[in-house]
A = this chain, B = another copy of it.
């Protein structure tokens, strides 16, 4: 791979230019022009590296781009997305989120890590491969959607409609990142997600709180409802929540023994002095990878200016719940269970607004694409990999993994624990970006040559 590495460094200015261009486009869900501009940018880059590009459209959704390039008897689907997370709270950013800044080898921008870094590195890798070796040895299907941060609501429908074009021998998903000591991370699935808003309404207006002694308070009612959902050590109490959970096998638990996880470093990074239930070791990793959860992502009601003492009986309250699910929980079923759980306990007046619904996925860790991605990462990074069963986060993998039946891997990527994805001052390292270009070529070669 020496020639590849040398060429990447010779071309680094070009590819950093691509990276900065991509990060300067505000491809936010609420900015249709920004999404259009970013789709055009990705399309033009796919065309410039020799791909034929098709737009897979769906009413009301940003176009999904499908770039096809390469030949051979094996096919691989690459998945990325061109949209990014919202930038709020803007005042916590040290520079503007769409004016990328490079300082001390780090690029700061919304999307730098999730996931424009890997997207651009993969585009660059395909170009470099061709410059060094000629035609790509795989039929590559590069799928880039624009609705991922908004729940990929149209992807399942689009994949079903175009399944014959999208079927592949393996799928390279969004990168799983690089761990805190530079080991390549790989996972073979995702947790699912059921994201809902709970809304409780009462009075017609906020009132002087002198009335609180006789008037039912929506915010107290919601606090009481929330309190029925979880024990203090994080066990979810929604009736039937764990019914379909697949317990890890003995082999699964054994493989956790080899998983490198620096608990003290993680606690330091997160700013906490203990994990839930004071967990550690295998018990902690089992919880991390194999347990579902129910999180309060936000709550708001009434008067919230710090330090001031306005006495209000609030007319309503809203809380956001995100439930991360594990195989074989079904997000639609889980929200139905939440509805029944609340109804049964006198909380039928609390509205549930359904937002994201994503199925969990677990793919084998020994499929050809999985083995190719692991082997290539150990070559390029020069370190053993940190392979976990699934990503602890969520992605719209279900449509491809289950609808199409394609084995999945989230390979190494630019994202590090300190990358602040979904948060202010998102960042990635330039050296990681260049390494993922090289890694792209390495897994292409490995997958072209591996025993199926």
Contacts and interface: CB of A to CB of B under 8 A. Distances in A.
A150 to B, nearest CB: 8
Interface in A261-307: 270-272, 274-276, 279, 284, 287-288, 291-293, 295-307
B272 A202 contact: yes
Given A210-B191, A234-B213, A204 B296 contact: no
Q: Which size bracket describes the interface of A in this complex?
A: 35 or more
A449 interface: no
A308 B353 CA distance: 11
A326 to B, nearest CB: 9
A205 interface: yes
Interface of A: 29, 85-86, 88, 150-151, 191, 193, 195, 197, 202-217, 219-220, 223-224, 226-227, 230, 232, 234, 270-272, 274-276, 279, 284, 287-288, 291-293, 295-315, 317-318, 320, 322, 324, 346, 353, 355-356, 391-394, 420-423
Number of copies: 2
Contact of A309 (B88, B151, B303, B324): B151
Given A205-B423, A207-B423, A423-B208, A295 B279 contact: no
A299 B301 contact: yes
Which of A86, A210, A303 has the most C-beta atoms of chain B within 10 angstroms of its own C-beta?
Answer: A210
B287 A203 contact: no
Given A304-B318, A310-B422, A392 B298 contact: no
The 10 closest A-B pairs by CB, nearest first: A204-B271, A298-B302, A212-B295, A227-B227, A300-B304, A298-B303, A210-B393, A213-B293, A309-B355, A210-B392
Contacts of A299: 219, 299-302, 304, 317
Contact of A324 (B213, B346, B392): B213
Contacts of A279: 214
Nearest to A190: B210
A8 to B, nearest CB: 30
Contacts of A306: 197, 318
A204 B270 contact: yes
Contact of A220 (B296, B304, B324): B296
Contact of A209 (B220, B295, B310): B295
